[in-house]
Structure 1
């Protein structure tokens, strides 16, 4: 199965439109903002009284043979996800009359039991909800008197894993493959996730005759990236149009505005495309201290255009320490480095000098018992 890649077109407006003020700037920047997603589920319990659904009330009185109305409903407040649920029954008197998953009623065919867990076979969409069970059947063979004043607890636990890049096998006894992968369980962060969509306009920087720098309507472009999840990759580009007859060299540097460990989790690939030729400039992780000075990304022949393409990936193994966060990085471009830092020669394939990237984030698997959650980190091979 081919992995889906989300596309991010990294910013900008085509210039020379009627009524647009076009100015000359020696330096132009592209400010990128990326945010992380989060698996966020909520479990609520209800009961039916006189034909009306109301919130669950603790300690109802039951008799042998009764069907107790108890609805376990799961709400998705985060990214699309798969869920699974389990119920643990306990009683105070330890009388030997115990309840189990066999006493649960109203479980639809969308669920399948595998061991102690019941797996929901469909993807639970953003804002979606589903019921785990509708009630609990009290065995009719129980005798009054044996369990007078006994108290049973039904503890419902729900886990969730992001649906994207995750492929459960419901024919297996371990549909999520947790035992095989040795997944590490982690607590869910309290921060609320930010749902962000990508800006689609391209960035086009034009080089004009008798001008150092670029002719554009603004010296800074701001663009948002789609919300990241582990394993998600996004691509973007900046196009340079040389309107002169002579070749011009372009330089780039990066400035991190919100430095944190979160930014360092990204993997970045940078390529330069000129006509039919594509050159790999860098492939690796983000190390901001090596991008403080301008780096040459090569010369653009007269009356030609060149495109700088990048792919930013949040690794599958990124864990929940970085969930529901955001980061910003600014990329600067110029055709004139006089009076600025000494430029570094263009990097060739295989070198490891370049280090640049844009913020990102993650999340994966959540678990909760009525209220609260635990997330895990998941591994994926591309």
Structure 2
């Protein structure tokens, strides 16, 4: 795909999960049944996912006279924060694109009419006749300005909820708007399905973020923790214990799912609404400046609901997963080649041992018969005997 923004890495969302149960992320239908209107799916058309939605509500309420006593400063809300729009064009010479970003950052408009949703949150671009095709749509990129505003925003969860309550009382916020935001805090801080033995993970999360002043700083501190404390990215590692606690406290070695799971759980334990997301990290560009997305770019990352801002993307996986595919202008992945070659060599070696073992007597006989050719008749008789 191409994009009009200057982003170096773009996170393509495929599916997000709700609950961490039995060391696995699951999507629970009942999670939505009591959470939101069934006709307005959280990852589909729900307004809380729309770019700038939460921010615009917080900004407008901070301007009201009746909220002055809450200590929320209107000057912390720049007017043009979500004004930048970008256009993404997806295409392929060999197959139709199957995955595009979910509506977290996509803006409504005519360019988005072909975006179809399935229950599993796979977005497939088809036309009305069911034919596959390329697609173009608008989205709002997560800019450095947005991250800076989130880092500077001095607003607690309680202040934000009071803002909503005041706005609801004065008719500036509808009951559905307030309720949907309240439920984000209730549902995405749920860790009841995970057994944090001895509260060890929660204690770690609190120690990492003890000097942080707001939600964004806490989320970023969790991201930084992994890189600063000797964690290693290893997609081939097979641990003795597959629990997330073993990764976090013992092995410190794993793939993106380990990192994203750890951060999501720790964020929730801190009271930060967070969700585990699977999709793709697009970072490879060809000589024409186009992003190339491969199966090997599949990635897991985290979305955290930042008070007063809304959902933001965080990637806690340590450096190492972004491989360099270019070699003299060609797409050549050395690590993949070495991996395949080592597997082929292992197969050949095992096959050779099996052949030798099965045909060992025959092999010995062949060499024995050959040796007889170099002896006289008498010696041959003795050796045969």
Structure number having the greater helix percentage: 2
Structure number having the greater strand percentage: 1
TM bin (shorter chain): under 0.3
Higher relative contact order, chain-length normalized (CA < 8 Å, sep 6+): 1
TM-score, reference length from structure 1: 0.22
